[in-house]
Amino acid sequence: MIRPHGSDRLKPLYVMDEKQRRELEKEALGLPSVVISSAAAANAVMLGSGYFTPLSGYMNLKDTLGVAENMYTGAGLFWPIPIVNILKDTPAIAKAKRIALRDPNVEGNPVLAIQEVETIEKATEEQLAFITEKVFRTTDPAHPGVATFNSLGDYVVSGPIQVFNFSYFETEFPETFRTAYRVREEMSELGWEKIVAFQTRNPMHRAHEELCKMAKEATGADGILIHMLLGKLKQGDIPADVRDASIRKMVDLYFPPNTVLITGYGFDMLYAGPREAVLHAIFRQNSGCTHLIVGRDHAGVGNYYGPFDAQAIFDKEVPAGALEIEIFKADHTAWSKKLNKVVMMGQVENHTKDDFVMLSGTKVREMLSKGEPLPVEFARPEVAEILGQYYRSQVS
């Protein structure tokens, strides 16, 4: 395993000492409090988990603008996306030095963390537009990440935090949610030193399965970390519990024992394409992984990014030495009728489009909702059955 990003050790912000945590929870009841956004809550979970090492909390406006512009904080830390707590208004916390951050995603809005308030700064419309354009490469309100960011407000509240819990992720996904420090522990227990990570917000079809196997062989990895996003998604994406069930079935049946670790992390999808791919690399490095698979349209949505922009950013914009994790660049994968196996489409000769089994996402959803079987070259039948049950339940 490799060192965490920007640090010799992992720096989770979760208060692990139970006595100290109980004292802080009691203090929080007497502090000014605010219900934060789901995005800020997800940032707190990632900070608490150690995934955002070496950050100590939410960024101020200067660092937010610097990270947006050139992927560096004022202190010289390489970081691709601002980690912020942005509010619509601040009367409830005006002049407060410490505030309680309440969870918007759990009934009753329990306290998720205490934040030490260093600054409360109002961002201008021009500054917010600048951040949006730099991070998402668009200001189109139809982009789901842009829409979410532009709904947060304009008051940037900065300062270190102490995290008390991991929101709904621990309770709803007890078998899957893992902190970065626990992922490292589990990989160490398996004796893994070289690990390839696979990011997913979708179910894994046959091509994804084979891509993981190809990457493991090509890198000489000891194991594969399948690391799924468990937080908020755009409308139409498949819920985490369904993805989790289908991935576990695939791994149980089609991977050798002790070669895959199935885990998830508590974050909301940004759909920020290239910038989000770099963030994915950072928190996989913090998890101990030595390689990250970056494929076609990684972390993208719609037609906002080129198919391999998320690979190009590592060559063109990430400075040499900024990251220790290595990127495994994957071409679009599909089943070759000629070779009778999954291949990277750009690496095979004498093939036309008709030589591949290709299904659009729309066609897959249509077939599943009608109970029609997917081609075995596209999806394992056991996986297709789990997905089919979900889609049929949505239309019944």
Give the domain ranges of the chain. Answer: 18-167, 175-265+271-395
4-52 pLDDT, tens digit per residue, is 999 999 999 999 999 999 999 999 999 999 999 999 999 999 999 999 9
State residue 309's pLDDT score: 94
**Residue with more model confidence, 20 or 202:** 20
Structure-block tokens of residue 330: 């994957």
State residue 362's pLDDT score: 61
How far apart CA 166 and CA 180 sit, in angstroms, is: 12
Q: What is the DSSP letter of 14?
A: B
State residue 321's pLDDT score: 93
**Residue with more model confidence, 241 or 274:** 274
Mapped onto helix, strand or coil, the DSSP state of residue 131 is helix
State residue 12's pLDDT score: 97
Write phi, then psi, for 13 (nearest 5 degrees): -100, 5
Q: What is the mean pLDDT of residues 254-267?
A: 94
Task: Tell me: pLDDT of 394 over 80.
Answer: no
Out of 100-104, 283-287, 376-380, which region has the weakest mean confidence (pLDDT)? 376-380
Q: Please report which confidence band the pLDDT of residue 255 belongs to, taking 50, 70 and 90 as the band edges.
A: very high
What one-letter code names the amino acid at 137?
Answer: R
State residue 348's pLDDT score: 78
Active-site annotation holds for 201: yes
State residue 223's pLDDT score: 96
State residue 165's pLDDT score: 96
Buried-state track 221-255, b at ≥16 Cβ within 10 A, e below 16: bbbbbbbbbbbbbeeebbebebbbbbbbbbbeeeb
216-251 pLDDT, tens digit per residue, is 999 999 999 999 999 887 776 778 888 889 999 999
Write phi, then psi, for 5 (nearest 5 degrees): -70, 125
Structure-block tokens of residue 32: 């000014």
Task: Tell me: pLDDT of 290 over 80.
Answer: yes
Whole-number percent of the chain with pLDDT over 70: 98
**Residue with more model confidence, 68 or 334:** 68
Q: What is the mean pLDDT of residues 203-211?
A: 84
Looking at domain 18-167, what is its CATH homologous superfamily? Sulfate adenylyltransferase (3.10.400.10)
Is-cis flag, bond preceding 54, omega within 30?
A: yes
State residue 361's pLDDT score: 61
Pick the catalytic residue: 102, 178, 184, 201?
A: 201
Task: Tell me: pLDDT of 267 over 90.
Answer: yes
- Cross-strand partners of 121: 156
Q: What is the mean pLDDT of residues 85-109?
A: 95
State residue 52's pLDDT score: 98
Strands (E), the chain: 33-35, 57-58, 86-87, 98-102, 111-116, 119-122, 155-163, 195-200, 223-229, 260-265, 291-294, 326-329, 333-336, 341-344, 356-357
Instruction: Give the strands of the sheet with 341-344, arranged side by side.
Output: 341-344, 333-336, 356-357
The region that residue 384 occupies, defined by phi over 0 for left and psi between -120 and 50 for alpha, beta otherwise, is alpha
306-358 pLDDT, tens digit per residue, is 988 999 999 999 999 999 999 999 877 777 888 888 777 777 788 888 888 77
Least Cα distance to 5 among 284, 388, 383 occurs for 284
Alpha helices by DSSP H, listed for 180-298, are 180-189, 206-219, 240-254, 274-286
Q: Please report which confidence band the pLDDT of residue 287 belongs to, taking 50, 70 and 90 as the band edges.
A: very high
Instruction: List the CATH code of the domain at 175-265+271-395.
Output: 3.40.50.620
Q: Please report which confidence band the pLDDT of residue 396 belongs to, taking 50, 70 and 90 as the band edges.
A: low
The average confidence (pLDDT) of the chain is 92
Task: Tell me: pLDDT of 202 over 70.
Answer: yes
Active-site annotation holds for 380: no
Out of 120-124, 169-173, 279-283, which region has the weakest mean confidence (pLDDT)? 169-173
End-to-end CA distance of the chain: 47
150-188 pLDDT, tens digit per residue, is 999 999 999 999 999 999 999 999 999 999 999 999 999
Pick the catalytic residue: 98, 202, 248, 365?
A: 202
Q: Which residue carries 């596209």 as its tokens?
A: 378
State residue 360's pLDDT score: 59
